[in-house]
Structure 1
Amino acid sequence: MATFAFQSTSNAQSYKNAIGGRFGAANGVTFKTTLGGNKMIDLIANFRSNGNYSYFRVTGLYEIYNPISNASGLNWYYGIGGTVGSVKYKPHNESDLYLGLDGVLGLDYKFADAPINLSLDWKPAIGLVPETDFDASGVGLSLRFTF
């Protein structure tokens, strides 16, 4: 049986900035930048549309990274943040402000010999406005160019 030991270091991730796409329940653009040490900010602009509504949202996440021992370039991370955006209800053509609180838990991998980063995470959200709800469907895969 294999086990992974988790450890913290002062510089867990191996890149300073990354930009690319996020794909999953909501598709969009993601930009990560380091705050120093093992902390990063992830900004996500995404959209979702179905038969009843469409929305555009911008999410900011404060994330803490921790390397996984014996797996160079692989980190696990967690964090919290918030979302602001707009939702448009298609049958009535009405729009509302959207505000929410977000969490995130995921894995982040930076390829050693290429400026490529992959992240797979779960981003549950609590909608506050226009109505209170819980959305647990926030699984996403991000592919980014690092610099």
Structure 2
Amino acid sequence: MKKNYYCLYLLFGIIFSSQAQENTLKNAIGLRFGNNHGLGIEVSYQNKLSLKNRLELDFGWTNDNHTDALKISGIYQWYWNFEKEVDWYAGFGGGLGSWNTDNNYMNSYGNDNGIFYVINGDVGIEYNFKEIPIQLAIDLRPEYVFNNYERNDFGINFGLSIRYKF
């Protein structure tokens, strides 16, 4: 009889500890590959703020023909469970960056470098693997870019992300 109680306690302990581990995964870090104004790659970090909200911080580099850009951005997101391992999310945010054009290339801004800030939205879907702490996501980010010259720009940044959850 004691063995049965011991097995029952052990079973409940395993169930509750695995549930507690799932709920304690508050962060994720990885890479996001995007395509607005050329190929871009970002280091992406997510911090869970509550059951339905999180903050995503990204630091990245983009290359478009003869122009390179660095950008740091933050996005506040709401997320909802769609199915067991599938969530969808939406949010808004902004960021700052700088760009630099090759010396032998004349661009439409009339200069070879500058700074910019961006206001963006975000909508996407993600899959959270159950057995391993990995997350895959696809998202769309409409972005409006303001720069230190008279030309401002709107674009859609399509991205694919892979993150490690911890």
Provide the rounded CA distance (Å) in 1 between the counterparts of 2:84 and 2:127: 9
Provide the rounded CA distance (Å) in 2 between the counterparts of 1:119 and 1:50: 24
- Which among 87, 92, 98 is matched to residue 80 of structure 1? 92
Q: How does 1:41-60 map to 2 (within 5 A)?
A: 41-60=55-74
- Which among 118, 126, 129 is matched to residue 136 of structure 2? 118
**CA displacement 1:108-143 (0-9 Å, x = unmatched):** 22111111011110011001123311011x111110
Equivalent position amino acid for 1:132 in 2: N
Higher CA-based Rg: 2
Equivalent position amino acid for 1:133 in 2: D
State the Cα distance separating 1:99 from its structure 2 match.
0.4
Single out whichever of 88-97 and 37-46 deviates more from structure 2: 88-97
**CA displacement 1:82-126 (0-9 Å, x = unmatched):** 010101122268321110101000002211111101111001100
Tell me which protein shows more strand as a share of its residues: 1
- Which among 123, 129, 143 is matched to residue 147 of structure 2? 129
Q: Which residue of 1 aligns with 2:164?
A: 145
Q: How does 1:100-119 map to 2 (within 5 A)?
A: 100-119=118-137
Gaps of 5+ in 2: 1-21
Is 2:52 the partner of 1:38? Answer: yes
Equivalent position amino acid for 1:80 in 2: F
Considering Cα pairs closer than 8 Å and 6+ residues apart, tell me whether 1 or 2 has the greater RCO.
Answer: 1
Coordinate RMSD, CA, aligned? 1.7
Gaps of 5+ in 1: 1-12
Is 2:33 the partner of 1:23? Answer: yes
Equivalent position amino acid for 1:141 in 2: L
Identity %: 29
Equivalent position amino acid for 1:31 in 2: Y
Runs (4 or more) in structure 1 with deviation over 3 Å come to none
Q: Which residue of 1 aligns with 2:15?
A: none
TM-score (norm 1): 0.83
TM-score (norm 2): 0.74
State the Cα distance separating 1:28 from its structure 2 match.
1.6
